[in-house]
Structure 1
Amino acid sequence: MIQHVYIRPTGFAPGPQSEHGNAIRLAGTMVYASRFAVILRRGGDVVERWLASPDTIDEVMGQLPDEIGADAEEQWANLTLAHPPMQLGERSIALDQPQVMGILNVTPDSFSDGGRFLDDREAGRDHAAAMVEAGAAILDIGGESTRPGAKPLWEGDEIERVVPAIEACSAMGAAISIDTRKAAVMQAALEAGAHLVNDVSGLAHDPRSAEVVAEAGCPVVLMHAPGGAGEDLHSGADYDNVVFDVFDALRARRDAALAAGIDKGNILLDVGIGFGKSLGENLALINALPLFHALGHPLLFGASRKRMIGALSKEAPVEDRLGGSIALALEAMRGGAQVVRVHDVAETVQARNVWRGLRDAALTDFSDLPG
């Protein structure tokens, strides 16, 4: 029977000194973890769960079956792995603190802006410039809606939408991500000046996409969507345990990317909030986000203005979801997410800066220690 192990951080500290050094810096971020659940799953069922701290983790891992011991050791090493800066063109994006990715949709049916930036390219350029000025480290440009029920778009039309926006943003010197699942669009976007591919299908939709990314040698975001290989990203959702199932699925997409020749250091992962997941499943994934550092890659998190916020706030419409969007972005930062993808850049950057100030202060706060 197939066995899997998962090491999930469950206890956190403001800084290592509050645990007398018995804490790890989670994936090189500003988050410190001091307690961990080591979970053994067999045939889809959790059969054992141990609690550990950094000074007892070796003892706990020694109780695991031999065939998964190496996997557990790799996950533990990944949890303590500090990721180097991500190079996007001339810009170096540090991953030791949360970075903000601003969304620029050039679609006629975006749930957040209703096609405003497709119809008015000057407004799109102004919006992109404002996001960069407000502190967006990356601009994510997309030409196809991926909301539930959206119709597939021909790649030629998608290219016509995104390339002018990429060229305009490139002229600003911005770091640019292309949000697409089509190889031809990826190729055209990279040639126009994009630096990163953000694929909501995890490179599963288009059989040529992994080859394009590998040849370009660019970073890529692999997102989880249950219907990634088909047209409907939201279809086929059937989870025994959404957290572990998404973890396993992302590991499989990561392994496929590596097999295609994509460099390990160029891969980021995204749990895919809102894609084929219920409200409860989205909440479970957000609460378990620190677990996904065990896969050994930086995490991108995107929940800005999504339906789950409305579901938790009396069905607030899209334009009234700022508070919930910031709450989720901050929760992702507490989970160690290196990049948060948002519509409201200025507000999120301000929230990030205050959060970062608190984390910095915690590292020098020894008032609760004797002596």
Structure 2
Amino acid sequence: MSEFQSQGRPPQLDGQAISHHSSSIDNTLLTKALADALNNATVESRRKRRWNIFFRIIFLLIFILIVLGFIGAKGLSSSGIQMDEQGNIITRYTAVVDVKGMIADNSEASAARVINGIQRAYKDPNVAGIVLRINSGGGSPVQSGYVYDEINRLRSLQPDKPIVSVIEDIGASGAYYIAAATDNIYADKASLVGSIGVTAASFGFTGLIEKVGIERRLYTSGEHKAFLDPFSPQNAIETAFWEEVLTGVHDQFIDAVEKGRGKRLNVRDNPDLYSGLIWNGEQALEIGLIDGLGSTATIAREEFQAPFLVNFTVKDDPFEKMMKELGMGVVSGVKAAFPEVEWR
């Protein structure tokens, strides 16, 4: 018998052995827990990755479908095929080219955009007639002149394809200059028409800088180089010269209108016709500034017998437009030092 048994006491366990055994169990459980957690994390990560890949593929497919749809629609339009709302192919329609807003370079109503739209309409054999849909108070005489000249050129090449102007809210100054080149001009009874004149506005600050105590220093190499400088006093000779320049531009405007409208203008009974005044549609009809009252739809339906309208106006590229809306457009030019001359 052992000593413990002989003394009647239970055997005592070694404390180090118990501690070592307990530590082994804890390590095993900890290792298993860590392995399970790592395995679960790996499974969850794979699951998320699969869903991410799935959604990316779906997004890519949707994007491709949108692009293909855009390209297909653009290709269908550029191919000259026009369809109505029911999907029927239209073989005879009225072309519409918008002249809206300020007529100026790099604007929506720039000569380049308007001319491009008109040229495309003339080239389309299915176009029964062209409507310039005007809603503009005018702008640059140069841009207006470009459009005027191009309309006359295209009319001489294709006299069988009519082109008319329809004035909506306003067709004044440079916008009316453009309209005068078309076969006929129509407007609503409340439209504003005319304003055959020229203006060039500026300011004079000579009195202000004297009160503030500012000394003006200006160096030029020509006697009249700074004749439009707003910080210099007016000179009678230079003022007369500038009025002569504007009168010349005004005469060009009048000549263009008379060539376009011919005997339809009632100049004799209306001495203020070229004074820069503006009239409503009913008054403009009496004076001879327009040929009738009507809308784009009315003209397309009754004059061209082609009620289906197709817009040939040149639009911004969608991506370029989006970039501009995000504030990433690039300024392409700097305004000249001279005051802008406009038809008024």
Give the TM-score normalised by the residue count of structure 1: 0.27
| The structure with more strand, counted as a fraction of residues | 1
| The structure with more helix, counted as a fraction of residues | 2
Structure of larger gyration radius: 2
Give the TM-score normalised by the residue count of structure 2: 0.28
